[in-house]
Amino acid sequence: MDFFKTWSVALALFVSFSVQAQSNKVVQGFLRDSLSRPIAGASVQYIAGTDTLKTSSSVGGIYTFNNLKDQSFKIKVSSLGFEPFEKNYTFAPVEENRMLVPNIILLGIPNMLEEVVINGVVTVQVKGDTVEYSTKDLKLREGSVAEDALKKLQGVEVDKDGNVTAQGEQVTRVRINGKDFFGGDVKTATQNLPANIIEKMQIVDDFGDMANITGNKSGESTKVLNIQIDPKYNEGYVTTLRVGGGTEERYQTTGMFMGFKDKSQVSVLGNLNNMNANLFDFNAMGGGARGRQGGGGGRGPGGMFGGSEGITNTGSIGVNIRHDFSDKLKAYGSYSYGRDDNNTLSNSFTEFLGDQKGLTRELEDDKNSIRADHRFEGNLEWNISDKDYIKITPQLGFSDNTTRSVNTATYLKNLLKDNIQVTDLNSGSNAPRYNFSGLYNRKLNNKGRNLFFNLNYDNAVTENEFNEILNQKIYDPANQNESIKDVYVQTLRDAQNKSWNAGASVSYTEPLSEKSKLEVTYDFNNNDYDNKDKQNAYDINNQLIADPELSGVKNYVYNYDYAFTTHRVGASFMYDNEKIKYSIGAAVQPSLLKGNASSADASAAIDRSNFNIMPIARFEYKFSKQSNITINYSGKSVEPTLSQILPFEVSTNRTNVTLGNSDLDPEFNHSLRMRFRSGDFQKGKTFFAMLRGEYTQDKIVTMSRRYAKEGDGIFQETGYQNESDPVYSLSTFYHWGRSLKEKTYNIMYGGGVNYNHGISYLNQNETGGTFDKVVTNNTVISQMLFFRYNPSENLEINPGVRYSYNMTSTSLAKLESPNTSKVAPSIIGSVNITPTTIFGADVSKEFNRGYASNVNPFIINTYVEQKLLKGQRGTIRLQAFDLLNEQVNINRTVAQELTDSRTNRLARYFMLTFTFKLQKFSGVNPMEDNSNRFHGGMRPPRM
């Protein structure tokens, strides 16, 4: 019996060691290009049965998979700029339990510009409309987020409000691994995503889902940022918590969690503060198959910690989820909620030009706005087969907004009081909205024959309530101490605006040869509007004022229902080879604007039809492997707005009346854009340039009757008409960059010119008279020069200067206004005083000229922070914001009057915050993760 037990134990041990040996296999290989150069950063998958392991190749092109047990497996490789590779293998060890896969040679895609990897210089690839940057060699501090990485990329700028501009155009949407993140909200991703888990960043000229699937690009593009996560971070999580308090009752509480588990991703964000730190942009609702935008409403020009106007108490929470059920079925979506309570104080000085010269207005406004938004967006992608693809996108949004505004306008005539108007406005609105979009693509053969179909339905309802009280005191020039007349008018208004949008597109592509094809398209779009508007005026005793001559406000009940429908049919020939791509063709578009408007005693029909013929043109030429040029034309019809088309008087106060025009034709906008990209990336040189021209046919322009009444100030009546003369604009941008000595020294020089040629009409008589044509030419010249010294992640200094010059000329000499200029030098820097102590400062000065009041703020922000706890997971930061208390926003608008305005912003305060960060990924070597790429997490308070 003892003998049997002994052999049983020995057999069990032998079997266990055998199993362990079989499950401890290692597969390793090398990736090379056709010139035997290593390929770094490629995505490599090990597939055995239903199991998939992922990694990325090292700088030397090496990939490794450990703890394997399968005898048969597949290696699948993908890398931007190379043809995808996949091949089946049988485990054949070269030594015990270790197999060396024969070298894999990836073949380059012919129209892909060469990838250049130089130590310390960001790897850059250019493929047509995409510029890709690797982030592996960026010198980033611990705690950096995606926004910090963007600031180090040539041709990319991030302003102090967090807005991202790439190659002269604003980035309007963000994706992570090719999928929308929190509905595409740019700042939500760039200010929260840890930089150390990012592998690549792509700036894409995006032409919509149809172009992404079929490759057929037409229409207007938008700038999209796509962030690629390093595959080794697909298993784990990162979390950040921050609390802080400061002077002026400032507070901040934020939290972020991002979890990754193979085919699933979950992100949760929360934010509570009174530092103007909005978390979500609810303007971003929209998109889907047909690229619709709008919806829930907008938060305005938000910013992080002091950039936006006024003071905002904000609370936000959101969740983003993505799950790949299989390689063919994927779902992702998000829910976001935000509540903003904003208080804005502003004052302005207006100088009326022309016949009203000598009359000025001083305006002070105190405004409180409370807004709550909900947004949900879902996406389902299904690759039914190798030839069939479906995408479905439902969206829901709801916005509730209340506003209280009290403003005081003092009119002076030749420096004497003419009248004072105090307006107290209470308003509220709610706007539910839902949207559904979908697309289907069918590959009819393997030679390029393709059928694409998409559709979109959008429904929105906005209900508004207004309660406005006007108190006006009129003064005698000979007696400025007492008013000679008092006016009181209360206006109550209810408005309901319903809108429906439905659209569908069909595209059929037929290959003509290996390099050419023919595309035929049809696009249908219908915008339908149903609106109701009711208004009454009351006196101080709450009695209805029936006579508008007494109140200056018209009592009315309006109903207007109309639709704008377009059909577009087009055909284009497309050619594509290694050096040149182009598409050329034409489209026809009939449009119909039809409906009716009615009041209690009148009605008007709206019935306008138009027919447009437009070219289809796109051209792309590759000068070399590192430079190309693209030229693109697009055209679209734009229907009149509600206020422009309603043929009845609308006036919410006694000094401003609008009268629409039911005979208006829709505008048609022509746009031509040229982009040039070039550089010697091996030497760290980049150059980007853009030229854009826009011409509007049948431009809808204003017909303004403006006159002064003694003791009543300025009265204005606004109408509209289509303009037959050209209305156009031109804009240019260029950026030159140079990096030296492994990006230790960086120079960035750029600028641009914007020119607008506009037309309006002005009549300065109360009755009769003629409308003078006013041609306004506005030119803005902008220049910038910046230098960055960044020898390591422990020291960075960024001095620079921006300059702008604004020139406006008009065909009416009496409306001429002075030009303005702004020079803004700045220096931003940070340094490690000790390995765990950092000091930073942001100093800027403005020199303004040409304004009524040349405010020249000098802003000093500074901070010191200390790392603590194991692994430097904790950070204490003491920050001083606007030490000299000079933060102010100054702006000029020039029309038929000249207005200089100033708005309050978050001013001087001191803040103490504590941040705790925790990060754990199973695919990352702890020693590697604590090297020169640091843990990331939510953006610290902006300086």
pLDDT tens readout for residues 121-130: 345 666 667 8
pLDDT band at 667 (very low <50, low <70, confident <90, very high): very high
What's the rounded Cα separation, in Å, for the pair 42 and 61?
8
What was the pLDDT predicted at 61? 80
What was the pLDDT predicted at 192? 81
What are phi and psi for residue 897, nearest 5 degrees? -150, 170
Q: How far is CA 145 from CA 193, 430, 748, 757, in A?
A: 5, 35, 22, 41
Q: Which domains does the chain have, with CATH numbers?
A: 19-105 (2.60.40.10), 116-233 (2.170.130.10)
pLDDT score of 214 more than 60: yes
What's the rounded Cα separation, in Å, for the pair 670 and 697?
8
pLDDT tens readout for residues 880-897: 998 998 876 767 676 667
Place of tokens 């902008």: 782
For the entire predicted model, the pTM comes to: 0.74
What was the pLDDT predicted at 341? 93
Q: Which is more confidently placed, 932 or 403?
A: 403
List the structure tokens of 712.
Answer: 């009543």
Average pLDDT on 743-762 reads: 91
What's the rounded Cα separation, in Å, for the pair 407 and 258?
45
What was the pLDDT predicted at 13? 40
Cβ atoms 184, 334 nearer than 8 A: no
Q: Which helix (H) or strand (E) holds 798?
A: strand 795-810
What was the pLDDT predicted at 18? 43
pLDDT score of 40 more than 80: no
Place of tokens 């009290």: 406
pLDDT score of 277 more than 70: yes
pLDDT score of 827 more than 60: yes
What was the pLDDT predicted at 924? 54
Q: Give the single-character DSSP code of 76.
A: E
pLDDT tens readout for residues 696-717: 999 999 999 888 777 666 788 8
Residue type, 522: Y
CA angle 918, 192, 834 (to 5 degrees): 60
Q: How far is CA 539 from CA 407, 533, 536, 650, in A?
A: 20, 21, 10, 19
pLDDT tens readout for residues 459-505: 999 999 989 998 888 888 878 888 888 888 898 999 999 999 999 99
Report the percentage of the chain scoring pLDDT > 90: 35
**In whole angstroms, how large is the CA radius of gyration of the chain?**
31
What was the pLDDT predicted at 302? 32
What's the rounded Cα separation, in Å, for the pair 805 and 749?
17
pLDDT score of 805 more than 50: yes
First to last CA, the chain: 80
List the structure tokens of 81.
Answer: 């700029």
**Cα four-point dihedral sign 143, 146, 147, 151:** positive
